[in-house]
Structure 1
Amino acid sequence: MHLALCALLALAPAAGNAQSPPPPRAGPNGPNGLTGLWLNPAGSVAVQVEPCADALCGHVVWASEEAKADARDSGVTALLGTAVLEQYRPTGARRWAGTVYVPDMGHHFDSTIEAIGPDVMRVRGCVLHRLLCRSQDWNHIARLPQ
C-alpha cells in the first residue's frame, strides 16, 4: 500500500489554490461536455474521450517521446491506444466516477472526472478509500499536437 501511496503522490502536481472552480458551463464537446480530445497539463499525452456502452472511456491517441519512454519503463510497450480513463459513469451534474490508469506508474486508481468549464476537465485519482487524492486539469484541444 505504501508503494501505491507514493505512486499517487507523483500522479500530479498539487493544485495551485484551494478555491472552488467556476460553475460549469455547457461546452462544445458533445452532450456530456467531455467527449473529444483532451491534453494533459504537461502537454505530453492526448486522450480521446468517447462513450463506451453506458459509460465514458478514454484512450491515448498521441504521446510525446518522453511519455512513451516513461510508459515503456513501467512495462507499457505501446502507449498509443492504451485505455487510461475506464468506465466513468455519471454521479452528479457534470461529474463522473470510474478508474484512471497511469501508464508510467503501471497502476489503476479510483477516480472522478468533473467538467469545470467548457474546455477544462479535472481528473482526480485517489487511494486509501479516497482519503488521499491528487488532481490534474486537462484541456480540450481541437487537434493533436505536432
Structure 2
Amino acid sequence: MKTAISRLFLLLAAATLLVAPIQATATTYGDVYGVWRNPKNTVHVEIKPCGARVCGYVVWANAKAQADAREGGTPNLIGSQLLREFAPDSKGGWKGKVFVPNRNMTLSGTAKPINASSLVARGCLLPGILCKSQVWTRVAA
C-alpha cells in the first residue's frame, strides 16, 4: 500500500511540474486578450485567441475612421481583421501581421503588454524597418 501511495504522490508531483510552465505562459501572454483602443480613440479592436495564435478584429470605429478605411479600399471597417497570425515571441509579447485598412496594406507587427491597461503596438513596413509604435489602452468591460 505504501508503494502505491508513493507512486501516486510522484505522479501528482510530476504532473504539477509539467503544468506549471504552461500556466505561467498563459498568464504572461493572456494579458493581451480583450478590447483595446488606439491613442486617438477612433478604433477599438478585440484581441482574442484564434486557435494556437491570436487575432484582432475591429469591434467599433468612429465615422471618420470608417470613411478613411473606405477610401483606402476597405468597405467595412467594423468586423475587419487587423491582427493576423500573432504568435508569442521570446520577449513576452506577440508577433504577426497587421492590416492597415486606410492604406490597404499588411505590415509586420508586434504587440506587447506594458501593464494590465496598456500595450505597445508596432507596425513595420519591413521587419524592423520604417516602423511606427503606439500605446493602446484597454477598454473597460
The answer, yes or no, to whether TM exceeds 0.5 is yes
1:107 is aligned to 2:134: no
Q: Deviations over 1:37-80 (max 9, x none)?
A: 10000100000110001111000000000000000001111111
Q: Name 1:136's counterpart in structure 2.
A: 134
Alignment of 1:79-94 (within 5 A): 79-94=77-92
1:30 Cα offset (Å): 9.0
Contact 2:29 2:88 in 1 (8 A): no
Contact 1:32 1:94 in 2 (8 A): no
Deviation at 1:105, TM superposition (A): 1.0
1:94 maps to amino acid: G
TM-score under structure 2 normalisation?
0.76
Gaps of 5+ in 1: 1-28
SS of match in other structure, 1:72:
helix
Higher RCO (CA-CA < 8 Å; seq separation 6+): 1
Distance 2:33 2:127 in 1: 28
Q: 1:67 aligns with which of 59, 65, 70?
A: 65
Provide the residue aligned with 1:117 in structure 2. 115
Residue 44 (1) aligns with residue 73 (2):
no
The Cα of 1:92 is off from its aligned counterpart by 2.1
**TM-superposed deviation, 1:114:** 0.7
Paired with 1:31 and 1:110, the residues of 2 have a C-alpha distance of 19
Q: Give runs of ≥4 in structure 1 deviating > 6 Å.
A: none
Answer whether contact 2:108 2:126 (CA < 8 A) is retained: no
**Structure 2 unaligned regions, length at least 5:** 1-26
TM-score, length-scaled by structure 1: 0.74
The SS at the match of 2:89 is strand
2:56 aligned residue: 58
1:78 matched residue in structure 2 = 76
Matches of 2:61 and 2:40, distance apart in 1: 11
